[in-house]
Amino acid sequence: MFRKLLPYVGKYKKYALLAPLTIIIEVFLEVNIPRVMAKLVDVGIANRDFSYILKMGLLMILMAVLSLVLGVFAARFASIAACGFAKGLRQGLFHKIQDFSFANMDKFTTASLVTRLTTDVNNAQMTFMMMIRMMIRAPIMLIMAVFMAVLLNAKLSLVFLFAIPVLGISLYFIASNAFPRFQVMLKKYDRLNAIIQENLIGIRVVKAFVRDEYEEEKFSDVADQVRQTQMKAEKIVVWNMPIMQFVMYGCMIAVSWFGGNLIIAGDMLSGELMGFISYITQILMSLMMITVVFVMFVITRASLVRITEVLNEQEDITEVVGAVNEVADSSVTFENVSFSYGGPKGNLILEGINLSIRSGETIGIIGGTGSAKTTLVQLIPRLYDATGGSVRVGGLDVRDYSLEALRNAVAMVLQKNVLFSGTIRENLKWGDENATEEDIIEACKAAQAHDFIMSFPNGYDTMLGQGGVNVSGGQKQRLCIARALLKKPKIIILDDSTSAVDTETDSKIRKALKEDLKGTTAIIIAQRIASVMDADRIVVMDDGKINGVGTHDELLKENSIYKEVYESQQRGVVENVGT
Amino acid sequence: MSGPRGKAMHLNRGRKPKDAGKTIKRIFSYMKGYRGHLAAVFLLVLISSAGQIAATYFLKPLFNDFILPFVGMQNPDLSAFIRMLVIMALIYASGALATFIYNRLMITVATGTLYKIRTELFSHMQKLPIRYFDTHTHGELMSRYTNDTDALRNMLSQSLVNIFSSLVTVTGVFIAMCILSPVLTVVVVLMLLLMLFIIKKLGGKSGKFFMQQQASVGKVNGYIEEMTEGQKVVKVFCHEDQSKKEFDKLNEELFEAAKGANTFASMLRPIMGNLSYMHYSITAIVGALLAITRGLDLGSLASFLQYTRSFSQPITMMSEQFNAILMALAGAERIFEMMDEKPEHDEGTVTLVYVQKDKYGDFVEVEHRTGLWAWKQINENGKVTYTQVKGDIRLNDVVFGYEENKTVLSGISLYAKPGQKIAFVGSTGAGKTTITNLLNRFYDVPDGSILYDGIPINRIKKADLRRSLSMVLQDTHLFTGTVMENIRYGRLDASDEEVIAAAKLANADSFIQHLPQGYDTLLTSDGTNLSQGQRQLLAIARAAVAEPPVLILDEATSSIDTRTEALIEKGMDKLMEGRTVFVIAHRLSTVRNSNAIMVLENGTIIERGDHDDLIEQAGKYYQLYTGMFELS
């Protein structure tokens, strides 16, 4: 898995290689210092050789300075490499998400994508940093220090033959036992967060039903489980320190005894023993470091898995080679179209759709919840690909166009629409980057947005918060329509886009569309019959099939669903005013 | 929604604590129950550090008294040597044991304290007014439980003890050094000053970069959030390339800042480590000179050299932990800030009780459900009176605004007699939902009054007031749990049969039966496995099971298509029977048969009457009804 992510280091690869390299030299110098020190004591002090002491001492200082400089460089290189890796990952993820189709997006929630791009990338950066610093440093330090110890006194270093396996095995046992327990804890922790999230979202329900005590009980129950599982996990980890100390102190005593005896027997010098004691610390510390990295790696593994998931996601809408860049006219044809969100094997949401819309026609679509109105129109700009049959725009299958050409020709105002932080003008320019002031005003007038925009003190330069928080729902919808109009599209689709606009304004918008956009095909999905009754033709959707097509009057006569909906909305009028 | 505020949240993560002393005190107040533990930890840390210091100190007698005197001897008497090693082993063992025990104790303290803080934070959050949730994003509040609590956890379980034990060790080592060789200690002091100077310099530099990094992280995260949220719009407008370009720019900025911050942070260890080697080397030279000229013994030099190593480690540790502690304190401050938020104000004394009539026709309070409810009032001289809950609601001249100077409702007066159905009609922002929010006191009325069975609602205890009103909201929220549990949320003591009866009433039974495990089907928190319409049916069932005297339906059927709505009409009629009902609806067909329809515009009632009256008046309602059939 890490292999899949490594290439994201990109151009910072040289730093990723330089860092361990400098670290290796640094470690080399570090392990040599105690050896020089041993010489200083055994030769310099023993012979009362002042110049030798100074020479060795300065050598040590020089080594330390060199090691310091190298250490600083290593830190710099490692930081650049790790931050570069994070940058690469973030970019890779973000670009990937930009290329996602709607179907890809549906698989991930927005919140989870954001977490992956933020927290998870952070964890990956930390792991990477650890890897190129600690994971190189610790084993090399271990090997070199053992080597130096053997060099100092081979007999005495037999102690490590006992100490390293004991510490290594116990650390391994601690880590491998702690891991599953931490996983249990993290699961509980997720549950705890889920409860908080649910309560935040549903706070009104909680308050309306006076369920605060019930929720508190639920929460404290899970919080207690978190506490228990955390205790269980950490109880294992807590063995780390004493075992480490036990082994280290054990070594000290053993080395003191055996080393002392060797010195007494004249087989070893005191300075060598001092140096040897330094190596005990270096060796055992590096073992400890390895386990720390290991534990860290285990904890961040989940983050890496989540990142890889996004990177491995196959974009399911791609362009064909030699894609057409020009949309001929504004006609739309559905030929025996079927669709399922779950691919060919899934439940068919749309079935046997045959419909041809002429250039410049206004089509209304009506139908109950779940009748697949939105799904139907989303096939036109290829937000999803039809599972069966073919959708044609301008006489050509939508899959034959380049996505940009197709989507520029088809403007869609989504049901759940979004404005971005920036000025109103900046938001409108999403429709057309090069729109002139006149274009913008014209579009806004058609969308009935110009007047309210001008009522703001800063007019078109009014700043919108993220998601358009400072305009009302109806104003937001009108801005979204204006934004779509600026594209000067061949086909415009309004998916229940005027639900928050009052009825009077709604009819004005429809009138403007009809007058200003001659030759543009308009497809309007609506809940209320009034919004579609003056369309050229109305499509009645029921349970993923077309139930009827015709003008208002025709449908009223022939189509039972249409009649039923009309009557349910009309009820009372006839008896009260209709007669 | 989490936009600008979300960014602020990311930014203030780099904030320094305002009043560290006060915050630390407050954290300790949560450890009150663990005083014994803490005292023991204090003692054990001392023992553990002493063990460490002794471990090094013993190098002196090792060389001076037990090795060097015997060098070259044929049959040295090593029994004293062995005795000393045994004593050392005992000291070491007790040191290691102390470390083990205090770490164990700290786990109990840390997890217990966290548990206490978490549950207190959560239960306080439950009591905060709706207004608080209006002004804070979910992400912001969530991070109190995640980021801030995590930082605190780190501090409690690691940094706190680490810093303390480092402090003890440094002091101990320093004392031991002074004893071993006052002259060499001068070198130590000089090195210490150099180290502190470097830490301060580095700290300042990295602090600056750190703030830059946090600001940059805020920008990048904000952009990611916004673009991911609007991803579908990005697609529809073919805006992918622009957003990639913009992102790359921000990402590059973040890289630059992060590079700086990380470099300085990770430089600390190698610098300190090698300074310590330098220190070691200087000590070796000076020590060797002293050994030659002043006769410094080899044992002292050996242990002094070891001490130089164990001196810098805790200092590095402390300087590293310092940032973690600052972050934890800043997090703790945010947690405490939330805990200090004023909870919902509740001055009500009138309570809701079950009653039954005794043989004289007077109400007697009982424990069990009787289907009869009364308001229990205790007046000044202690006399208890019971008023039957009927569902008579009157609003007199109610004025309200969510923000000051921005009135949403101005002078609303209306009444609902027991059992009446009152409908609110009007465009978005006219104030329909606001009225219902005032009824259950999600917000308090600054001007005018609301009477419930003749009692001003602010005299009724909030919990009891809300228990007497059942709400079905536009956005339905389900909780993780089975279908059964979700419906039972309306009344916790409802039996399975009652839950199923309620589901049948809401016409939800048939689709529930089709779910894989029927009523035992597990729903996820956001109920993604159900359609919006099905969720609304569950919410209606939930309200039905509560059997309240007053029912508020806020767009309760907005996601249910007209045909299904017709199907549940009967059930709804039955649900509304004998109850006072407030209805807000899009569809005029839903409100037609109300006793009174209030047409709202800009926070005032512009028309009122029943359907026929309003049609006759030929005003706004007439226009809406005849022209457009439906409202938003």
Q: pLDDT per residue over B356-390, tens digit each?
A: 888 887 888 888 878 788 899 888 888 888 888 88
Domain co-membership, B398 together with B382: no
- Does residue A282 fall inside a structural domain? no
The CA distance from A401 to the nearest CA of chain B, in Å, is 14
Cross-strand bridge partners of residue B364: B356
The 10 Å Cβ neighbour count of residue A370 is 19
Q: Are residues B408 and B380 both part of a single domain?
A: no
> Are the Cβ atoms of B252 and A117 closer than 8 angstroms?
no
Mark yes or no for CB contact A64/B285 under 8 Å.
Answer: no
The residue among A566, A93, A155 whose CA lies nearest residue A367 is: A566
**Same domain membership, residue A495 and residue A379:** yes
Residue B422 to residue B609: CA distance in whole angstroms: 10
- Exposure of B147 by Cβ count < 10 A (0-12 exposed, 13-18 middle, 19+ buried)? middle
Report yes or no on A220 lying in a domain.
Answer: no
Q: Does B622 touch chain A (CB under 8 A)?
A: yes
Inside any domain, residue B438: yes
> Would you say residue B416 lies in a domain?
yes
A489 at B interface, C-beta within 8 A: no
Say which CATH number the domain at A95 has.
Answer: 1.20.1560.10
pLDDT score for A247: 87
Q: Does any CB of chain A come closer than 8 Å to the CB of residue B202? A: no
Instruction: Select from A433, A444, A520, A517 the least CA-distant residue to A482.
Output: A444
Q: Are residues A416 and A305 in the same domain?
A: no
Give the pLDDT band of residue A572 (cuts 50, 70, 90): very low
Does residue B605 sit in the same domain as residue B539? yes
For chain B, what is the total number of helices (H) and then of strands (E)? Answer: 23, 16
- Minimal C-alpha gap between B412 and chain A (Å): 23
Is there a single domain that holds both residue A472 and residue A342? yes
Give the one of B254, B267, B589 whose C-beta lies nearest to A75's C-beta. Answer: B267
**Distance in Å from the first CA to the final CA of chain B:** 22
Least confident of A464-473, B9-18, B332-341, B527-536: B9-18
Considering the domain architecture, whether residues A86 and A114 belong to the same structural domain is answered as yes
Question: Are B222 and B122 in the same domain?
Answer: yes
What percent of chain A shows pLDDT beyond 70? 95
Q: How far is CA B510 from CA B495, B520, B528, B534, in A?
A: 19, 14, 19, 11
* B53: closest CA of chain A, how far (Å): 12
| Domain assignment present for A495 | yes
Contacts with A, B 140-199, CB within 8 Å: 141-142, 145-146, 157
DSSP output for B163-206: HHHHHHHHHHHHHHHHHH-HHHHHHHHHHHHHHHHHHHHHHHHH
- In-domain check, residue A222: no
The two three-digit tokens of residue A469, written as one number: 């928080």
B291 touches chain A (CB under 8 A): yes
Closest by alpha carbon to B452, among B497, B500, B496, B418?
A: B418
Min distance B361 CA to chain A CA atoms (Å): 31
B-facing residues of A in 190-219 (CB < 8 A) are: 192-212, 214-216, 219
B115 to chain A, minimum CA–CA distance in Å? Answer: 6
Global ipTM:
0.81
A347 and A308 share one domain: no
Secondary structure letter of residue A239 according to DSSP: T
How far away is chain A from the Cα of B225, in angstroms, using its nearest Cα? 6
Q: Is the pLDDT of residue B44 over 90?
A: yes
Q: Are B102 and B161 in contact (CB under 8 A)?
A: yes
Domain boundary among B276, B304, B339: B339
Residues B576, B507 within the same domain: yes
Mean pLDDT of the B426-433 span = 74
Same domain, A399 and A307: no
pLDDT at B303 over 90: no
Give yes or no: residues B272 and B374 share one domain: no
- Pick from A208, A417, A503: CB nearest B628: A503
Residue B2's pLDDT is 32
CATH number of the domain at B621, please: 3.40.50.300
In terms of average pLDDT, the best of A504-508, B140-144, B161-165, B317-321 is: B161-165
Instruction: Tell me how many domains chain B contains.
Output: 3
| A223 close to B (CB below 8 A) | yes
Give yes or no: residues A388 and A426 share one domain: yes
Contact call for B1 and A466, based on CB within 8 A: yes
Comparing alpha-carbon positions, the chain B residue that sits nearest to A382 is B236
Is B107's CB within 8 Å of A242's CB? no
Contact criterion met (CB below 8 Å) for B469 and B442 = no
Domain membership flag for residue B346: no
Looking at beta carbons, which residues of chain B come within 8 Å of A431? 237
Of B92, B254, B302, the CB nearest to A249: B92
**Tokens at A236, concatenated:** 């294992």
pLDDT, tens only, A179-205: 788 878 878 887 888 888 788 878 888
Yes or no, beta carbons of B238 and A407 under 8 Å apart: yes
Same domain, B296 and B384: no
CATH value at residue A386: 3.40.50.300
- Mark yes or no for CB contact B145/A48 under 8 Å: no
| Residues of A in Cβ contact (< 8 Å) with B97 | 242
Residues A309 and A415 reside in one and the same domain? no
A482 pLDDT band (50/70/90 cuts)? very high
C-beta atoms of A208 and B611 within 8 A: no
- Give the domain range for residue A73: 1-151+301-314
- And the tokens for A209? 């039903």
Same domain, B505 and B458: yes
Average pLDDT score over chain A: 85
Residue A176 resides in a domain:
no
Predicted confidence (pLDDT) per residue in A43-87, tens digit? 887 788 888 888 888 898 898 899 889 989 998 999 999 999 999
Whether B344 maps to a domain, the answer reads no
Question: Rounded to whole angstroms, how far apart are CA atoms B113 and B157?
Answer: 10
In A55-159 the beta strands, taken as DSSP E runs, fall at none
Residue B345 belongs to a domain = no
Choosing from A314, A345, A363, the residue where a domain stops is A314
In this structure, what CATH number is given to the domain that contains residue B29? 1.20.1560.10
Query: Last residue of some domain: A265, A280, A314?
Result: A314
Rounded Cα distance, A75 and A129, in Å: 9
Say whether both A438 and A404 belong to one domain.
yes
Interface test with B, best of A65, A200, A542, A565 (most B CBs within 10 A): A200
- Does residue B462 belong to any structural domain of this protein? yes
Q: Residues B13, B140: one domain?
A: yes
What is the C-alpha to C-alpha distance for residues A315 and B235, in angstroms, rounded to an integer?
13
3-class DSSP string for A391-452? EEECCEEHHHECHHHHHHHEEEECCCCCCCCEEHHHHHCCCCCCCCHHHHHHHHHHCCCHHH
**For residue B455, is it within any domain?**
yes
CA distance A53 to chain B (A): 6
**What CA–CA distance (Å, rounded) separates B188 from B192?**
6
In 3D, which of B308, B89, B173 has the Cα closest to residue A248? B89
Residues B381 and B407 in one domain: no
A117 part of a folded domain? yes
Q: Hey, which residues does B354 pair with through a beta bridge?
A: B366, B373
In a domain, A284, yes or no: no
CA distances from A218 to A194, A222, B129 (A): 12, 6, 21
Q: Which domain holds residue B564?
A: 393-628
Q: Domain for residue B184, yes or no?
A: yes
Q: Which of B267, B429, B467 sits opposite A472 (nearest CB)?
A: B429
A507 domain-assigned = yes
Check whether residue A537 and residue A470 sit in a common domain.
yes
Residue B8 has pLDDT above 50, yes or no: no
Asked whether the beta carbons of B23 and B329 are under 8 A apart, the reply is yes
Q: How many domains does chain A have?
A: 2
Q: Domain check: are B430 and B373 in the same one? A: no
* A476, A374: one domain: yes
Residue A518: pLDDT above 70?
A: yes
Q: Is B547 left (phi over 0), alpha (psi -120 to 50) or beta?
A: left
d(CA B453, CA B456): 8
- In degrees and rounded to multiples of 5, residue B347 shows phi and psi of -105, 5
Closest C-alpha among A561, A212, A442 to residue B561 = A561
Tell me how crowded residue B289 is: count the other CB atoms within 10 A of its CB.
Answer: 18
CA-closest candidate to residue B306, choices B393, B147, B477, B180: B180
Alpha carbons B619 and B598: distance in angstroms, whole number: 12
**Given a cut of 60, is residue B557 above it in pLDDT?**
yes
Same domain as A372, residue A308: no
Domain match, B327 and B400 both: no
8 Å CB contact between A41 and B288? yes
